[in-house]
Structure 1
Amino acid sequence: MRSLLHSLLGLCCVFGAFGDLVEIKRIAEENVTLKCQHELGILGEQSLDIEWFSNISHSGQKVLISYSGGKVYDNDDRKGRYSFVSKFLAGDASIIIWSLEPSDAGFYTCKVKNAGKYYWNYIWLEVLVKPSEPQCWIDGDQLVGKNVTFHCMSSAGTKPLTYRWQRIRYEDKAVLSMPSTARLETQQSLLLQNLSKAENGSYQCEVANEAGKRTCVVHLRVQNAMNVGFLVSVICGSVGGVLLLCVTIWILLRKKELKKREEDEFLNEIREDAEAPKARLVKPGSSSSGSRSSRSGSSSTRSTTNSASRSQRTLSTQETSHGEPRHHCLDQI
């Protein structure tokens, strides 16, 4: 690509003045000024033409902004991202690109024409991208005597990316000495062997490139295996106790519900049995009831009559018994 640019510069020498190829590096999201100084404005403003175009590899040559016939023209696709910096009619045709994007990287040309004379300026723009926010994590059991591996990964950023691990004091980010058992497996992975509680703390991964750097932190908390087992047993026991309590409560509520249902069914049966005879007595009508009542009345009348007659016989018998001795005496006289 560079040889092609130099060939273009050689061709331009035939037709007019040209500036040196300028290489610029800027960071994405920043603004950049592309310089283009000329002296053709003194030949007259009406015939002055200024044109900026890019020759980005993936999009081909494209006009970005231009001045002709006393008017400024913007490219519709990128309108607002490019503007002339200052007094382009007086000899400064520089432009500014706002909020750089990675796609802005490439070759830019400034062409100034006036009264048959040309001036060319060439700029190679490189857009650098900072590393993306890295992700940090730990593989392995954080137990005394075990091994763990710290991992760090940044998914984007201008290559090359460099990784560095440090042990830090998290409160003030002060750098501490790395444990003697630590060693790099790869640039992105740090291995700690035969853990002890002395290795507890915070470990920082720093990812850097030419554009900047970013960091992430992991926290190591080494515990005794017995403590972990006890904690697990306590948790399991607590969970089991809660489950047992819930099952017991459910059984009691279920029994209570079944008992209430049986009582309701029993009461319903009693109520049905009690209502059935009443229905049979009322259903035949009043004739049966009346006959029964009349028979009851007649029987009671007969009973009363019989009782009266018996009373009379009893009285007469008593009188006879008292009168019999006197009659005997008279017979004897």
Structure 2
Amino acid sequence: MALLPGPLLCRALLGWVCLAAPGRAVEVRVPAEPLSAPMGRTAELTCIYSTSVTDSFALEWSFVQPGKPLSASMPILYFTGGQLYPTGSKAKRASLLQNPPTGGVATLKLADVHPSDTGTYLCQVNNPPDFYTNGLGLVNLTVLVPPSDPRCSQTGDTSVGGSAALSCSSSEGLPRPVYNWVRLGSLPTPPPGSMVQDEVSGQLVLTNLSRASSGTYRCVASNQMGSASCELTLSVTDPSKGRMAGAVIGVLLAVLVLSVSVFCFMRFQKERRKRPKETYGGSDLREDATAPGISEQTSGMADPSDGLLEKAPSSISAKTNKSKLPVVV
């Protein structure tokens, strides 16, 4: 009895089906929730995979900065050919908890994390002939940073009745800090609505300022990692009092100038009284005085050269007070 070819045919068909069947898919599992780590600590990013590891097995961890596409990823380390190759700017701080990572777990260990380590990390497994998935897992990491010392500043009109804005901002802090303004001391509480603050932007708006608004204000920046603060002193001025003070100073200056002028005038008068008066002695002769014994008429005569043709010499006589001398013709 001849053997039926059925079993041989089935074995041949099964072998052909096995050869034609595709390889196993590479499956990568990573935490679904974002991870966080305090600045300066060590972060562990878990990556679990399933595949039939062969000599062609390769693993890569890479990093993408926030807001950039996955194609812009930068390598952190490779594992291939049984060797681990850290690379890039994080090479000195990056390692694997399992080395070699051939047992289905390839957790990345990143020491002394910095704010610049915040971003997306890619765990990619390649193991030909297991080609039927991309073997990729994405892990989001946030490095928690306490707020840096904030900077306080003010703008606006700080006179009575004006409005001013106090600003507060920290250059560092993750999660983003919230800001809270408080006024120090036991001064009266400003009326409702005159103080409005924004905890996100860190701005405090003061309206309808009065002298009671003056004082020291403190801004506190805080997040889950800590807090920091800065202080600012607000001085509200009254322009009307300034003008009054200016008027008083002007009056005082005018009185001072007047007092100095009166003093100088009185001093001058006193010095003038002390000066000796100028007198003429009995023997002093003035240039325009008339000589004794000569009448005013004689002294008032014209120049002898004048009128010689009109009057004869005999008609001229000299008069004296004491005697008369005979004239010979």
Q: TM bucket by the smaller chain?
A: 0.3 to 0.5
Higher helix share: 1
* TM-score computed with the length of structure 1 as normaliser: 0.47
* TM-score computed with the length of structure 2 as normaliser: 0.47
